[in-house]
Copies of this chain bind each other. A is one copy, B any other.
């Protein structure tokens, strides 16, 4: 039997490990907690076994992980957080340097080989910032928080006034128009309503798309400046009680952040596609030639200040869906009001500091399992990113302790504390570009955690090859709130969110006389917005991004501080403990498995299913439109390539499972050839780069060109449908098929 199937009904009453002792050798005593695998909804089969490990090595692996997990301590996590968030630490500032040294010292103390990697990058700090309502009543608007009693950090004056990373300097005065979320359709709608946009100032709300694209869209629509405010409908009182009572955004909290045009390429905009500080031929562009930076000034505001402008707008009522949470009817403007923005940015090439630490592998020191989290923050970064940093440090500590029992991982584990993420994924991108050859040859996987804990909902997006590994780890980690395997919590939510879609798809399959499928938990695809981007999109390294999610109303404000996490978000640090455990188990299994736990059957199935879904969307957007709007290109060759990848991956997975279980002999050289093939497969999915943004090379995963954060899988086809561009769609089929065929050819080399 290739994989053990544990009947859900049996698993109800007993710890799953003990439920069927003959079928499953995992010993309940060795299991880190008495997690009861609950019956899954529907016919969902819980994961069994441990992908990539021989059945007779499960117990030892679980025992080792259990020792690791029992060593994770809330007090260490809390102490790290207090120390990391004492000062604001914007990239390149002395506060930031101090956190780099703290992380360096801790990692070295935990037995890792850590060093600081300094990289020179273009950064801006605010020189002076003025926003004022010159009509009707004048007076400057507040560009920083006032702080709350009982939270000393929130009253510290050492934090910059609110500004936008990579924002432009400028001095503009104009009437204001309200443009909802500021996406492409929003500005088009205003133009369609006959609202004159040229030379005016856009007031847009945060949410839906990455903030840099709001500024890009405004600039392209002819506006002279942009104010981005946080509407209470999106992360304020309409979502939860504001801090300090709850996790909602307070009236005066400002969301800082970068306004780079992220979906067109991350990293230092003056070194696009090559490493900053690389020297030699890799000269830095003059700032004026850098792409992906706004030319019109922008500024973030709190809703308390923005409402003074919004309430004064006249003109037509805002269209359906544009109304936010403030207690009056929104109008699109303009009105009697005029705003004056005067913003001076201080741009310079400044150093940032990645901290890179290695725990060298025993058998394959050159092979790397990468764990990454950024360290720089717009203010204190207690959630974003240092809730992740403390988990990383705690992971390093418990793994270090494990080495003192004699254990060493088979492959190297590399911890990356990135700097400059907030400006545009600078530290990870420049490092990835600088080490591209080594990474493409030797990286096994990249496991990213940014803001680790803002709530209790576990969410993971990633390369689909990692799906089984992720599910098996979730099975083995306790949900500290519901005291059951995280797998149950995650699957229950997936079921309640995905059930009707699944039923609908099965109905379609039935009517097509295809086989119906059981409900399965799947991961979402990666878009962008954190440091996995260079690894998955540029280097083709299987990547994961994880968090415990909740409302993060203090996001990028001065209130993202120690008190918020310590008193409101995770007082017992139990969610942080769980994240540390998930992350470390993933790393241990990737580093110690005999066969790499990468399952490209899932990747192939995902690609195939996504093609069917895209075909339907293409049909829908073209329905009732003229023939020229119809998507006529057939996806046949790409579907065949996906089928080939699936079959080849399945054959290799079966061969590996049989060898692991002793049903078959290993090929000469053991698992090495299989692992080489598995490591090369994701790289095979890289192509020549997407149209208009060649830095993005993955043919299955990319952020949407107009979303920034959110993924548009199979980006050539997916983006073409969004853009209603049948010709781009037709051009996209070939490269997609080629990539899938390349990946299949790589996996077919696995002997």
Neighbour of A41 across the interface among B246, B317, B624, CB < 8 A: B624
Taking the complex as formed, is A502 at the interface, i.e. its CB lies under 8 A from any CB of chain B? yes
Known contacts A499-B623, A499-B624; A241 and B329 CB within 8 A of each other = yes
B500 and A620 within 8 A (CB): yes
Neighbour of A620 across the interface among B238, B326, B503, B519, CB < 8 A: B503
Taking the complex as formed, is A512 at the interface, i.e. its CB lies under 8 A from any CB of chain B? yes
Of residues 603 to 642 in A, which have CB atoms within 8 Å of B's CB atoms?
A: 616, 619-620, 623-624
Q: Could you say how many copies of this chain the assembly holds?
A: 2
Smallest Cβ-Cβ distance to A307: which chain B residue: B327
Q: Which of A327, A500, A512, A619 has the most chain B CB atoms inside 10 A of its CB?
A: A327
Q: Mark A495-520, 1 if CB is under 8 A from B, else 0.
A: 10001101110011001100000010
Neighbour of A508 across the interface among B499, B503, B511, CB < 8 A: B511
- Give the residues in chain B near A624, CB-CB below 8 Å: 41-43, 495, 499, 519
Taking the closest CB of chain B, its distance from the CB of A280, in whole angstroms, is 54
Neighbour of A327 across the interface among B327, B503, B616, B620, CB < 8 A: B327
Neighbour of A328 across the interface among B43, B237, B328, B511, CB < 8 A: B237
- Give the residues in chain B near A323, CB-CB below 8 Å: 238-239
- Give the residues in chain B near A499, CB-CB below 8 Å: 620, 623-624
A238 and B329 within 8 A (CB): yes
B503 and A619 within 8 A (CB): yes
B623 and A240 within 8 A (CB): no
Taking the closest CB of chain B, its distance from the CB of A609, in whole angstroms, is 16
Neighbour of A326 across the interface among B241, B242, B327, B616, CB < 8 A: B327
A327 and B237 within 8 A (CB): yes
Known contacts A42-B624, A508-B508, A624-B519; A327 and B325 CB within 8 A of each other = yes
Taking the complex as formed, is A52 at the interface, i.e. its CB lies under 8 A from any CB of chain B? no
Known contacts A512-B511, A624-B495; A329 and B240 CB within 8 A of each other = yes
Taking the complex as formed, is A704 at the interface, i.e. its CB lies under 8 A from any CB of chain B? no
User: Bound complex: CA of A512 vs CA of B42, how far in Å?
Assistant: 26
Taking the complex as formed, is A232 at the interface, i.e. its CB lies under 8 A from any CB of chain B? yes
Taking the closest CB of chain B, its distance from the CB of A228, in whole angstroms, is 21
Neighbour of A623 across the interface among B502, B619, B623, CB < 8 A: B502
Of residues 229 to 251 in A, which have CB atoms within 8 Å of B's CB atoms?
A: 232, 237-242, 246, 248
Taking the closest CB of chain B, its distance from the CB of A318, in whole angstroms, is 10
Taking the closest CB of chain B, its distance from the CB of A89, in whole angstroms, is 31
A317 and B241 within 8 A (CB): yes
- Give the residues in chain B near A327, CB-CB below 8 Å: 232, 237, 325-327
User: Bound complex: CA of A237 vs CA of B246, how far in Å?
Assistant: 26
User: Bound complex: CA of A329 vs CA of B245, how far in Å?
Assistant: 11
Taking the closest CB of chain B, its distance from the CB of A233, in whole angstroms, is 9
Taking the closest CB of chain B, its distance from the CB of A198, in whole angstroms, is 27
User: Bound complex: CA of A42 vs CA of B248, how far in Å?
Assistant: 46
B508 and A329 within 8 A (CB): no
- Give the residues in chain B near A232, CB-CB below 8 Å: 327
- Give the residues in chain B near A500, CB-CB below 8 Å: 620, 623
Smallest Cβ-Cβ distance to A303: which chain B residue: B327
User: Bound complex: CA of A241 vs CA of B318, how far in Å?
Assistant: 11
A237 and B512 within 8 A (CB): no
User: Bound complex: CA of A329 vs CA of B239, how far in Å?
Assistant: 7
Smallest Cβ-Cβ distance to A502: which chain B residue: B623
A503 and B326 within 8 A (CB): no
- Give the residues in chain B near A502, CB-CB below 8 Å: 623
- Give the residues in chain B near A616, CB-CB below 8 Å: 507
Taking the closest CB of chain B, its distance from the CB of A704, in whole angstroms, is 20
User: Bound complex: CA of A238 vs CA of B232, how far in Å?
Assistant: 13
Neighbour of A503 across the interface among B237, B507, B623, CB < 8 A: B623
- Give the residues in chain B near A512, CB-CB below 8 Å: 511
Smallest Cβ-Cβ distance to A622: which chain B residue: B503
Smallest Cβ-Cβ distance to A44: which chain B residue: B624
A329 and B237 within 8 A (CB): yes
User: Bound complex: CA of A241 vs CA of B619, how far in Å?
Assistant: 39
- Give the residues in chain B near A623, CB-CB below 8 Å: 42, 499-500, 502-503
Taking the closest CB of chain B, its distance from the CB of A581, in whole angstroms, is 29
Q: Mark A41-52, 1 if CB is under 8 A from B, else 0.
A: 111000000000
- Give the residues in chain B near A242, CB-CB below 8 Å: 329
User: Bound complex: CA of A232 vs CA of B328, how far in Å?
Assistant: 9
A329 and B246 within 8 A (CB): yes
- Give the residues in chain B near A511, CB-CB below 8 Å: 508, 511-512
Taking the closest CB of chain B, its distance from the CB of A549, in whole angstroms, is 14
Taking the closest CB of chain B, its distance from the CB of A5, in whole angstroms, is 18
What are 15 A-to-B residue pairs whose CB atoms are below 8 Å? A232-B327, A237-B329, A242-B329, A246-B329, A248-B329, A325-B327, A326-B327, A499-B623, A502-B623, A503-B619, A503-B620, A507-B508, A507-B619, A508-B511, A511-B511
Can you name 10 extra interface pairs (CB under 8 A) apart from A239-B323, A499-B623, A500-B623?
A42-B623, A43-B624, A237-B328, A237-B329, A246-B329, A325-B327, A327-B327, A499-B620, A504-B620, A511-B512
A interface residues with partner B (beta carbon < 8 Å): 41-43, 232, 237-242, 246, 248, 317, 323, 325-329, 495, 499-500, 502-504, 507-508, 511-512, 519, 616, 619-620, 623-624
Give the top 7 A-B pairs by smallest Cβ distance, nearest first: A42-B624, A241-B329, A503-B623, A511-B512, A511-B511, A327-B327, A503-B620
